[in-house]
Structure 1
Amino acid sequence: MPLPFGTGSQPFRTDIREEEDKYSVEAELPGIAKEDIDIQVQGNELIIRAKRNDIVEQKDDSNRIIRQERRSGEFIRRFYVDHIDEEHIKAKLEEGVLKLEIPKRPGDDQSRRRIQID
């Protein structure tokens, strides 16, 4: 069984904390506007998708490009989630950090039981 929030590649950094009644996720997305961030829950996956289109140009007096730096692309993170209350997920973007509060579904017992060996 996959671990909650298990993932493969890491195109942007995240911190994930589990509390008794919720998960808290913080993702670093500097320079990305909230309109360019898409958050979805599909089955047992929480998907965070972010797009960046930054273009910096410097031209000389003849309008020739002297230097051009482009950074663009789409960044995607997928996390395994289970027993969450999808209807009450809260998301906020503050100073380049996306903060998600993901409540656990009430009544789902996630406690562990030690098995006695005979």
Structure 2
Amino acid sequence: MFDLVPFRKRNDDPFRQLVRSLNDTFDFAPLAPLHGSLQTFRTDIREQADKYAIEAELPGFGKDDVEVEMKDNYLTIRAKRQHEEEQKDEQNRVIRRERRSGEFVRRFYVDNVDEAGITAKLSDGVLKLDLPKKANTEPARRRIDIQ
């Protein structure tokens, strides 16, 4: 009895209705290219004393399909997939065609990284990146006299 909500139903949460209407808008078929053109993948990022270690799940991608770029303190991982499968019958007519293609992109801001020492390895669908930190330098201190 204490969980009754007066003057409105419990499932009429305005925020939930807003999110639902936005999802319905972008699931509308003519807007489908906006919805799924760039996909994402899962990553783990660990900070260690001397480096940042990043592991990204990229199952089914080869090293020629993956691009890693560092520019203006932003690390960008981009993976592109282009796959076509086609089945034909005896008269050489297409009976089934499946195409899977897409681009997966993640971008991270990283500071204090030695760009020349970055290493990457792709093995068993996992991209492993090591981003070594720059030598730790203390900022110069200057005492300001108060007048």
TM-score grouping bracket, smaller chain normalisation: 0.7 to 0.9
Judge conservation of contact 2:51–2:132 (CA < 8 Å) in 1.
yes
SS in 2 for 1:35: helix
Structure with the larger helix share: 2
What are the residue-to-residue correspondences of 1:1-118 with 2, within 5 Å?
11-108=40-137
> CA 1:72 to 1:23, structure 2 compared with 1: closer, same or farther past 3 Å?
same
Provide the aligned length of Structure 1 versus Structure 2.
101
Gap runs ≥5 in structure 2: 1-37, 139-147
Bigger radius of gyration, 1 or 2? 2
Where has structure 1 moved over 3 Å in runs of 4 or more?
Answer: none
Distance 1:47 1:96, change over 3 A: same
* TM-score, scaled relative to structure 1: 0.79
- Closer, same or farther: CA 108–29 of 1 in aligned 2, 3 Å: farther
1:72, CA displacement in angstroms?
A: 0.6
- Give the structure-2-normalised TM-score: 0.64
- Report the alpha carbon displacement of residue 10 of structure 1 after superposing the two structures with TM: 6.3
Query: What percentage of aligned pairs have identical amino acids?
Result: 59
Q: Which runs of 5+ in 1 are unaligned?
A: 1-8, 110-118
Of structures 1 and 2, the one with the larger relative CO (CA 8 A, separation 6+) is: 1
Q: 1:26–1:108: structure 2 CA closer, same or farther, 3 Å change rule?
A: farther
